[in-house]
Chain A
Amino acid sequence: MSDNSIRFRPVSRRRVLAAGAAGGAVLAAAGTVPRVLRAQPAAIKVGLLHPVTGAISYSGQQARAGALMAIEDINAAGGIASMGGAMLEPVLGDAQSQPEVGAAEVERMNEEGVAAIIGAYASSISLATTQAAARYDLPHIVDVGVSDQIVSRGLANVFRFGPGFGKIADTAITNLVTINEAAGSPARTVMIVHEDSLFGSGLADLLNARLPEHGFEVLDTISHPTPTRDFNNVVLQLKARQPDLIIPANYYNEYVLLARTMLQQRVQPKAVYSVLGGAASSFRFLEEFPGAAQYIMDCNHWYDPSNPKSAELRQRAEGEGLYFTYEFFLDYCCVGLLADALERAGSAERPAIIEALAASTWDGHIMPYGPTEFVDGQNQGARPVNTQILGDDIEVIFPTEVASAEPVFPMPERG
């Protein structure tokens, strides 16, 4: 009887060692150790903290979407090269549109070991989250929160990429004076409609103080809470006083309702000149309510249209069914700012990241800011631009070096 079974030679320890050494030598000679066989660097956790539920959830969700897309892009490009290609891992947080919930989320993120936090969209939430993060020297990049108090408390861990409302109010007034004078100064009276939290009220105070210095008379300032779902009374007041300019400063939903009610009640000012108007520079608003959106001017966060990367990013965002709003692209840029700091720090240690952010000169963003430069946590080059909704697009009308259209002022009759 023949033995048909296959026989294996016993594998000795010497043979294993020899085979291993030979294999290693071949791979080393080729210099191509497969990536999967190399030790993977630990992922860097990044806290993305936004109000994705509650009264300002739309903006929070847009901000989160922008940050997530940026993380995807950075990871797809090989992660943080100086840290062996370490990937960024998002740790998501919901501030529920409340400061104390935002602060509690910072505690959770700190325990989860995030290297830095990006957020928290609203000024009042950002005040609470930056302070909570300061206890742990946790770097906190503020994406949108415009209150200047955020960067005036001497917190070394806080960096704001965008402009604060002091800068925004100055720019808005300077550009308004220029536009008005160029048209022969037809506008003299103003009414301000603002939401009543830190962002809207702070801005309204600044405008009330500075507009009279430039010859404008503020007829009235009307505040409203967020959320507000009926603007009929507000618009009736506007109609009764007939100001030349209406200046809204509020969040997305309230802005849309106010603009629609103004159109329905046929309020015809010489301009709707928003300052940080929640929907005034929003493609969603333009798409859904083109009639109410026409000719609205806004001084707001906006990308540099002459930068080819911005058109590409807009196309990608819209390709994924997202609106290319300021929340989206500011958060996209904030992740890039952090990635640049991580790249230069070569470490996910918090003091190293803070040091790298403080010395940041990053120009890979799509905003009209120039390279970043932080003084007391504020990006010095950050500035708003003036936009106007013209036809089916949002055009930049100021500053002239990045403008894509001439302002239309006074606006033609609408509706």
Chain B
Amino acid sequence: MRAQRYLPIALVTGGLALLPLVVTSNFLLNFLILTLLFALLGQAWNILGGFAGQFSFGHAVFFGSGAYATATLQIHLGVNPWVAMVLALAVGGLVGAMIGALSFRFRLRGSYFALITLAFAEVFRIIAHTADFTGGGSGILIPLDLRPANLQFEDKAGFYYLVLALTAGSLVITRALQDSRLGAWMLAIRENEDSARALGIDSFRVKLVAITLSGAMAAAAGVFYAQYFLYLDPGIAYGVGYSVEALLVPIIGGMGTVFGPLIGSFVLHGVDEATRGLTGDAPGLNLALYGALLIVMLRFLPAGLMGLAAQVKGIGHQRRTRQAHRLKEAGDA
């Protein structure tokens, strides 16, 4: 029964793993890589926002910290990129724990917590601008050396499998969280923190674990970005764009669900590419169309696409129940 809960993740990951065998277009592979990257970042936000109910507007702080950690460890200390990746995840988790400890200790909730995360992302951006080890505003360039030992791959499929492994890992962690007592505590805090505390849940500790886990996961996305594009500057790493992307993906897909961020990322980026194809070379028209579609989706799907799927499933279930009732009544008659 427990293994069955992971079957959908195994099937989805297996299906995605087969794609490079049939997709020969590097453009499509690049699209899939970026889609999985944002699904990973969205899943990180989902753990903190979707499960623990703490809405962050500054997830770029974790993304950027992971990216800078791996880049600076490689450049300044000569650390192997694989080792640097593990250390960068720890850095992301530490940054999360630090922000969480400060914010939750002072009981910052709702919009106040959202604003403090936004402020932290901005502070980190400014620090990255002024610090020497980050290369300041000029940024940091990871030398091009396409070898798997360097966490750089000649073939796009190598990057694809790396980001797929990270995304699959995030799905497994989220499912394990969903089935665990910790996950139940997070949901209790999301629904009503005061009631959860009255029931004896240590909300500070639970939220701290959520933000630490979320920070490490977002840092993994940052590490991948750094290895894929090999260049970072403060605007890229800590810019508001990634914070928005991180929350948009699970909101569209379905917050507090395992597959919501993945579905949201595929839909968002698919729509983006489709609108680009539809509008041709007219500058910005694709973005306007993309924005309009986003507004429509947010208006009519407040629970995201997973919510829509649940609704459809619910309608089917109701129909079947009514039909069974009618048959039973007919039989009784």
Task: Tell me how far the C-beta of A114 lies from the nearest C-beta in chain B, rounded to whole angstroms.
Answer: 12
A103 at interface by CB-CB < 8 Å: yes
Q: In residues 132-165 of chain A, which contact B (Cβ within 8 Å)?
A: 134, 147, 149, 153, 155
Residues 120-155 of chain B: 1 if any A CB is under 8 Å from the residue's CB, otherwise 0? Answer: 000000000100000011110101100000000000
A340 at interface by CB-CB < 8 Å: no
B201 at interface by CB-CB < 8 Å: no
Please name all residues of chain B whose beta carbon is closer than 8 Å to the beta carbon of A155 when the two chains form the complex: 144
CA distance A31 to B92 in the complex (A): 74
Stretch at the interface among B40-48, B105-113, B173-181, B233-241: B233-241
Q: In residues 204-237 of chain A, which contact B (Cβ within 8 Å)?
A: 204-205, 223, 225
CB pair A94–B283 under 8 Å, yes or no, is yes
Please name all residues of chain B whose beta carbon is closer than 8 Å to the beta carbon of A61 when the two chains form the complex: 283
CB pair B229–A92 under 8 Å, yes or no, is no
Task: Tell me how far the C-beta of B68 lies from the nearest C-beta in chain A, rounded to whole angstroms.
Answer: 15
B104 at interface by CB-CB < 8 Å: no
Stretch at the interface among B25-33, B56-64, B251-259, B293-301: B25-33
B230 at interface by CB-CB < 8 Å: yes
CA distance A103 to B25 in the complex (A): 15
CB pair A200–B229 under 8 Å, yes or no, is no
CB pair A197–B137 under 8 Å, yes or no, is yes
B284 at interface by CB-CB < 8 Å: yes
CB pair B30–A202 under 8 Å, yes or no, is no
Residue on A nearest B234 in the bound complex, by CB: A196
CB pair A131–B27 under 8 Å, yes or no, is no
A198 at interface by CB-CB < 8 Å: yes
A interface residues, how many (CB within 8 angstroms): 36
Residue on B nearest A202 in the bound complex, by CB: B138
Q: In residues 4-42 of chain A, which contact B (Cβ within 8 Å)?
A: none
CB pair B136–A205 under 8 Å, yes or no, is yes
CB pair B229–A149 under 8 Å, yes or no, is no
Please name all residues of chain B whose beta carbon is closer than 8 Å to the beta carbon of A57 when the two chains form the complex: 283-284
Task: Tell me how far the C-beta of B21 lies from the nearest C-beta in chain A, rounded to whole angstroms.
Answer: 18
Stretch at the interface among A104-112, A265-273, A318-326, A347-355: A104-112
CB pair A196–B27 under 8 Å, yes or no, is no
CA distance A149 to B25 in the complex (A): 29
CB pair B229–A99 under 8 Å, yes or no, is yes
Task: Name the contact of B283 in the complex, choosing from A53, A196, A197, A198 (C-beta under 8 A).
Answer: A53
Please name all residues of chain A whose beta carbon is closer than 8 Å to the beta carbon of B287 when the two chains form the complex: 53, 96
A335 at interface by CB-CB < 8 Å: no
Residues 182-207 of chain A: 1 if any B CB is under 8 Å from the residue's CB, otherwise 0? Answer: 00000000000010111011101100
Beyond A100-B34, A127-B231, whether A196 also contacts B236 by CB under 8 A is no
Q: In residues 168-213 of chain B, which contact A (Cβ within 8 Å)?
A: none
Task: Name the contact of A198 in the complex, choosing from B26, B27, B31, B137 (C-beta under 8 A).
Answer: B137
CA distance A100 to B231 in the complex (A): 10
CB pair B137–A201 under 8 Å, yes or no, is yes
Task: Tell me how far the C-beta of A286 lies from the nearest C-beta in chain B, rounded to whole angstroms.
Answer: 25
Task: Name the contact of A111 in the complex, choosing from B26, B139, B230 (C-beta under 8 A).
Answer: B26
B332 at interface by CB-CB < 8 Å: no
A124 at interface by CB-CB < 8 Å: yes
- Is the contact region of chain B dominated by helix, strand, or loop, or is it mixed? helix
A404 at interface by CB-CB < 8 Å: no
A52 at interface by CB-CB < 8 Å: yes
Residue on A nearest B25 in the bound complex, by CB: A111
Beyond A98-B241, A107-B26, A225-B235, whether A201 also contacts B229 by CB under 8 A is no
Please name all residues of chain A whose beta carbon is closer than 8 Å to the beta carbon of B136 when the two chains form the complex: 201, 205
CB pair B241–A110 under 8 Å, yes or no, is no
Please name all residues of chain A whose beta carbon is closer than 8 Å to the beta carbon of B329 when the two chains form the complex: none
Task: Tell me how far the C-beta of A126 lies from the nearest C-beta in chain B, rounded to whole angstroms.
Answer: 10
Task: Tell me how far the C-beta of A253 lies from the nearest C-beta in chain B, rounded to whole angstroms.
Answer: 16
CA distance A197 to B135 in the complex (A): 11
CA distance A128 to B52 in the complex (A): 37
CA distance A413 to B316 in the complex (A): 79
CA distance A125 to B332 in the complex (A): 73
Task: Name the contact of A223 in the complex, choosing from B137, B144, B284 (C-beta under 8 A).
Answer: B137
Please name all residues of chain B whose beta carbon is closer than 8 Å to the beta carbon of A202 when the two chains form the complex: 137-138
Please name all residues of chain B whose beta carbon is closer than 8 Å to the beta carbon of A194 when the two chains form the complex: 137
CB pair A124–B137 under 8 Å, yes or no, is no
Residue on A nearest B130 in the bound complex, by CB: A223
Residues 247-287 of chain A: 1 if any B CB is under 8 Å from the residue's CB, otherwise 0? Answer: 00000000000000000000000000000000000000000
Q: In residues 356-385 of chain A, which contact B (Cβ within 8 Å)?
A: none
Beyond A127-B231, A128-B229, A196-B235, whether A104 also contacts B31 by CB under 8 A is yes
Task: Tell me how far the C-beta of B46 lies from the nearest C-beta in chain A, rounded to whole angstroms.
Answer: 22
Task: Name the contact of A124 in the complex, choosing from B26, B139, B284 (C-beta under 8 A).
Answer: B139
Task: Tell me how far the C-beta of A371 lies from the nearest C-beta in chain B, rounded to whole angstroms.
Answer: 30
CA distance A194 to B129 in the complex (A): 12
CA distance A197 to B232 in the complex (A): 10
Residue on B nearest A206 in the bound complex, by CB: B138
Q: In residues 45-76 of chain B, which contact A (Cβ within 8 Å)?
A: none
CB pair A53–B137 under 8 Å, yes or no, is no
Task: Tell me how far the C-beta of B198 lies from the nearest C-beta in chain A, rounded to whole angstroms.
Answer: 45
Please name all residues of chain B whose beta carbon is closer than 8 Å to the beta carbon of A153 when the two chains form the complex: 141, 143-144
Most buried by A among B34, B129, B138, B225: B138
CA distance A110 to B284 in the complex (A): 22
CA distance A96 to B283 in the complex (A): 9
Task: Name the contact of A107 in the complex, choosing from B27, B137, B139, B141 (C-beta under 8 A).
Answer: B27
Please name all residues of chain B whose beta carbon is closer than 8 Å to the beta carbon of A104 when the two chains form the complex: 27, 30-31, 34
CA distance A198 to B144 in the complex (A): 18
CA distance A111 to B234 in the complex (A): 31
CA distance A320 to B234 in the complex (A): 39
CB pair A92–B281 under 8 Å, yes or no, is yes
7 A-B residue pairs with Cβ-Cβ distance under 8 Å, sorted by A, are A100-B229, A104-B31, A107-B26, A128-B229, A131-B230, A197-B235, A223-B137
List 10 A-B pairs, minimum CB-CB distance, nearest first: A201-B137, A52-B283, A107-B27, A53-B284, A202-B138, A92-B281, A107-B30, A196-B137, A111-B27, A201-B138
The residues of B with any CB-CB pair to A shorter than 8 Å are 25-27, 30-31, 34, 129, 136-139, 141, 143-144, 225, 229-231, 233-236, 241, 281, 283-284, 287
Query: A131-B230, A198-B233, A201-B138 are known contacts; what are 20 more A-B pairs with Cβ within 8 Å?
Result: A52-B283, A53-B284, A96-B287, A98-B241, A100-B225, A103-B30, A107-B26, A110-B26, A124-B233, A127-B231, A131-B229, A149-B141, A153-B144, A196-B129, A196-B137, A196-B234, A198-B137, A200-B137, A202-B137, A223-B137
